């Protein structure tokens, strides 16, 4: 028997939730507060945690309530068909790649894609052709790809089968999807869109257009990120017949649990009912609070908050006004450090920090009081910044982004390296060798290096800077990395 047999995760969550925190963080249901009334009103919600029984239909062969719920969802989002996902957009992304591109075929992929895209390319054994995104200098935020980039990739790869785009990015910036979809379709490419962060777009006229509305062929969206549904819930929408729908269904049933959670499916169902009725109003409330945040935070010395000015430049077509992107590049502190002080000292949880910026997710549950607390805390942190914190930040370099340089050389595809032998080496030794794994700051999980790519000196330097500034880098353990050994 282990000495300490207490439930570890439960205790940790209990501790985490008992404190009175200000949250600018996912999930979008804001600690349950924004969940649909129907779900909240249930006295024993655990009774919903059932398995497939007579009368409650089957996710993998729906013919009853699940079929009807998915039909209503398709209508609500303006799609031909919609599938409920109980393993996040992760399973949606993997499935849409595998359903559209056969093993060995090429797919054009925007480089700043989530790691689930790399998983899809690996399992689906397809050949990625990377497309470099535009970059907002100063903050080093990678945005969308230009139409020229897509046209060039098509010209150089006339045999490509599909294109995979991610819009919005983690920060809520969208690219010119209408134009990109049009170019892709003119060239007979299937358009796959990772819209994990845009499930709310369709429900508010002040937000960018959803790629479902713009005619993309398959689109995945996380309902737990920006809509009030439970974590792991997501949707996969389809339009038209450019791909084989039956193959998509088969893959979804292979990759999703054979015991899908009815609690999660009910949560998606009720969430859609709720946003169809109240989406415009709830999202407007969030936009109003975020707008207040932009005004107040912009008044802080050396802090700038992203606003409309960048629209139409740098691969940005539009943006999600419920997000606050706070540029701290001129504060001489790293975003990581500020995030950690906000958490430790002020009990403020923000969604994400990078070396140069902070990201806050604003929902209808946030108030102007939350923003005031953030603003006061940020002012205090910057006023009291310590010498050692500033020194670390001063190492920030101007070109500290993989997207500011040429993309790494790809020696093997991600699926080729999956079964190759590897060995663990220290970072200096790794230079010039082929990476076995994804190397990515987490969150958000946008790979710096994909499996099969060559590790460069620049990359190692960049990772070292990120690490001393407080970033968590997946794929690197105790300053070692796995490389292909044969
Ligand atoms: C752009 C993007 N795509 C896909 C995913 C995976 O989504 P999920 O957490 O719903 O599986 C994420 C998660 O953060 C993401 O940021």
Q: What is the pLDDT of residue 406?
A: 78
Q: What is the pLDDT of residue 464?
A: 82
Q: Give the position of tokens 């707008």.
A: 291
What digits encode the pLDDT tens for the residues 66-107? 999 999 999 999 999 999 999 999 999 999 999 999 999 999
Beta carbon of 114 within 6 Å of any ligand 1 atom: yes
Percent pLDDT > 70 in the chain is: 94
With beta carbons less than 8 A apart as the criterion, state whether 371 and 45 touch. no
What digits encode the pLDDT tens for the residues 103-155? 999 999 999 999 999 999 999 999 999 999 988 866 678 899 999 999 999 99
E strand or H helix that includes residue 371: helix 368-383
Q: What is the pLDDT of residue 141?
A: 83
* Alpha carbons 144 and 135: distance in angstroms, whole number: 8
Largest CA distance in the chain: 66
Q: What is the pLDDT of residue 201?
A: 98
Q: Is the pLDDT of residue 426 over 80?
A: yes
Q: What is the pLDDT of residue 356?
A: 85
Beta carbon of 110 within 6 Å of any ligand 1 atom: no
Mutate which of 84, 112, 196, 233 for ligand 1? The one with the most ligand atoms within 8 Å of its CB, which is 196
DSSP class of residue 437 equals S
DSSP class of residue 169 equals -
Q: Is the pLDDT of residue 452 over 90?
A: yes
On average, the pLDDT of the chain sits at 92
With beta carbons less than 8 A apart as the criterion, state whether 175 and 211 touch. no
Closest by alpha carbon to 359, among 369, 348, 368, 350? 350
pLDDT-based confidence at residue 19 (cuts at 50, 70, 90): confident
* Alpha carbons 158 and 330: distance in angstroms, whole number: 44
The terminus-to-terminus CA distance of the chain in angstroms comes to: 43
E strand or H helix that includes residue 468: helix 457-468
Question: Ligand 1 centroid vs 222 CA: distance in angstroms?
Answer: 7
pLDDT-based confidence at residue 296 (cuts at 50, 70, 90): very high
Question: Ligand 1 centroid vs 91 CA: distance in angstroms?
Answer: 9
Atom of ligand 1 at shortest distance to CA of 224? Answer: 10
With beta carbons less than 8 A apart as the criterion, state whether 84 and 78 touch. no
Question: Ligand 1 centroid vs 199 CA: distance in angstroms?
Answer: 12
* Alpha carbons 145 and 177: distance in angstroms, whole number: 10
Could you tell me which residues come within 8 angstroms of residue 158 by beta carbon, excluding any fewer than 6 positions away? none
Give the chain's radius of gyration (CA, Å): 22
* Alpha carbons 142 and 371: distance in angstroms, whole number: 26
In the three-class reduction of DSSP (H, G, I as helix; E, B as strand; rest coil), residue 389 is classed as helix
Q: Is the pLDDT of residue 173 over 70?
A: yes
Beta carbon of 400 within 6 Å of any ligand 1 atom: no
Mutate which of 25, 29, 86, 90 for ligand 1? The one with the most ligand atoms within 8 Å of its CB, which is 90
Angle separating helix axes 387-394 and 335-346, nearest 10 degrees = 150
pLDDT-based confidence at residue 445 (cuts at 50, 70, 90): low
Q: What is the pLDDT of residue 220?
A: 98
* Measured CA distances, 422 to 197, 437, 484 (Å): 35, 10, 4
Beta carbon of 366 within 6 Å of any ligand 1 atom: no
Q: What is the pLDDT of residue 51?
A: 87
Question: Ligand 1 centroid vs 89 CA: distance in angstroms?
Answer: 5
Q: What is the pLDDT of residue 388?
A: 65
Beta carbon of 294 within 6 Å of any ligand 1 atom: no
Q: Give the position of tokens 């994804």.
A: 438
Question: Ligand 1 centroid vs 36 CA: distance in angstroms?
Answer: 23
* Alpha carbons 150 and 169: distance in angstroms, whole number: 17
Least confident residue range of 367-371, 440-444, 467-471: 440-444
pLDDT-based confidence at residue 269 (cuts at 50, 70, 90): very high
Cβ-in-10-Å burial (0-12, 13-18, 19+) of 58 comes to middle
Give the mean pLDDT of 286-290.
97
Question: Ligand 1 centroid vs 170 CA: distance in angstroms?
Answer: 9
Q: What is the pLDDT of residue 225?
A: 96
E-state strands within 132-241: 135-136, 141-142, 162-166, 173-174, 190-194, 218-222, 234-238
E-state strands within 95-147: 106-110, 127-131, 135-136, 141-142
Q: Is the pLDDT of residue 382 over 80?
A: yes
Closest by alpha carbon to 327, among 349, 341, 310? 310
With beta carbons less than 8 A apart as the criterion, state whether 100 and 165 touch. no
With beta carbons less than 8 A apart as the criterion, state whether 452 and 435 touch. yes
CA 460 to chain centre: 24
Least confident residue range of 12-16, 354-358, 386-390: 386-390
Closest by alpha carbon to 280, among 233, 322, 219, 232? 322
Question: Ligand 1 centroid vs 401 CA: distance in angstroms?
Answer: 21
pTM exceeds 0.85 for this model: yes
Q: Give the position of tokens 């007579």.
A: 54
Question: Ligand 1 centroid vs 226 CA: distance in angstroms?
Answer: 11
Ordered structural domains, the chain, with CATH = 38-272 (3.40.640.10), 280-394 (3.90.1150.10), 408-484 (3.90.100.10)
What digits encode the pLDDT tens for the residues 336-373? 899 999 999 999 999 999 888 899 999 999 999 999 99
Beta carbon of 352 within 6 Å of any ligand 1 atom: no
With beta carbons less than 8 A apart as the criterion, state whether 154 and 183 touch. yes
């Amino acid at each position: 028997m282990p000495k300490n047999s207490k439930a570890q995760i439960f205790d940790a969550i209990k501790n985490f939730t008992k404190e009175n925190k200000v949250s600018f963080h996912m999930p979008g249901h804001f600690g349950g507060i924004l969940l649909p009334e129907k779900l909240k009103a249930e006295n024993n919600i655990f009774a919903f945690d059932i398995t497939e029984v007579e009368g409650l239909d089957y996710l993998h062969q729906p013919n009853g309530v699940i079929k009807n719920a998915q039909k209503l969802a398709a209508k609500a989002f303006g799609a031909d068909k919609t599938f409920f996902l109980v393993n996040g957009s992760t399973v949606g992304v993997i499935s849409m790649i595998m359903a559209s591109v056969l093993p060995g075929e090429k797919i054009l992929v925007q480089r700043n894609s989530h790691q689930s895209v790399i998983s899809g390319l690996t399992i689906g054994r397809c050949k990625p052709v990377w497309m470099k995104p535009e970059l907002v200098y100063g903050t080093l935020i990678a945005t969308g790809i230009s139409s020229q980039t897509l046209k060039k990739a098509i010209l150089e790869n006339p045999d490509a089968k599909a294109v995979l785009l991610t819009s919005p990015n983690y920060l809520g910036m969208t690219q010119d999807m209408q134009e990109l979809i049009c170019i892709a379709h003119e060239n007979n490419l299937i358009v796959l869109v990772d819209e994990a962060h845009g499930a709310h777009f369709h429900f508010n006229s002040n937000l960018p257009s959803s790629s479902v509305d713009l005619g993309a062929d398959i689109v995945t969206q996380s309902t737990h990120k920006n809509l009030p549904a439970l974590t792991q819930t997501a949707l996969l929408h389809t339009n038209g017949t450019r791909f084989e729908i039956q193959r998509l269904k088969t893959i979804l049933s292979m990759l999703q649990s054979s015991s899908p959670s009815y609690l999660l499916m009910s949560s998606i169902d009720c969430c859609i009912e709720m946003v169809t009725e109240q989406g415009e109003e709830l999202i407007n409330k969030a936009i109003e609070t975020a707008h207040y945040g932009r005004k107040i935070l912009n008044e802080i010395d050396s802090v700038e908050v992203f606003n409309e000015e960048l629209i139409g430049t740098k691969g940005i077509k539009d943006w999600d006004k419920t997000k606050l992107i706070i540029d701290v590049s001129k504060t001489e502190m790293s975003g990581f450090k500020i995030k950690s002080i906000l958490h430790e000292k002020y009990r403020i949880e923000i969604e994400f920090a990078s070396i140069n910026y902070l990201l806050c997710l604003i929902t209808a549950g946030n108030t102007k009081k939350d923003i005031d607390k953030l603003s006061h805390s940020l002012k205090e942190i910057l006023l009291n910044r310590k010498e050692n914190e500033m020194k670390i930040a001063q190492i920030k370099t101007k070109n500290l982004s993989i997207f500011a340089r040429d993309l790494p050389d790809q020696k093997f595809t991600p699926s080729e390296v999956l079964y190759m032998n590897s060995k663990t080496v220290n970072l200096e030794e790794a230079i010039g060798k082929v990476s076995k794994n994804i190397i990515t700051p987490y969150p958000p999980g946008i790979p710096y290096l994909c499996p099969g790519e060559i590790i460069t000196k620049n990359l190692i330097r960049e990772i070292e800077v990120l690490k001393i500034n407080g970033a968590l880098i997946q794929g690197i353990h105790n300053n070692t990395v796995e490389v292909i050994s044969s």
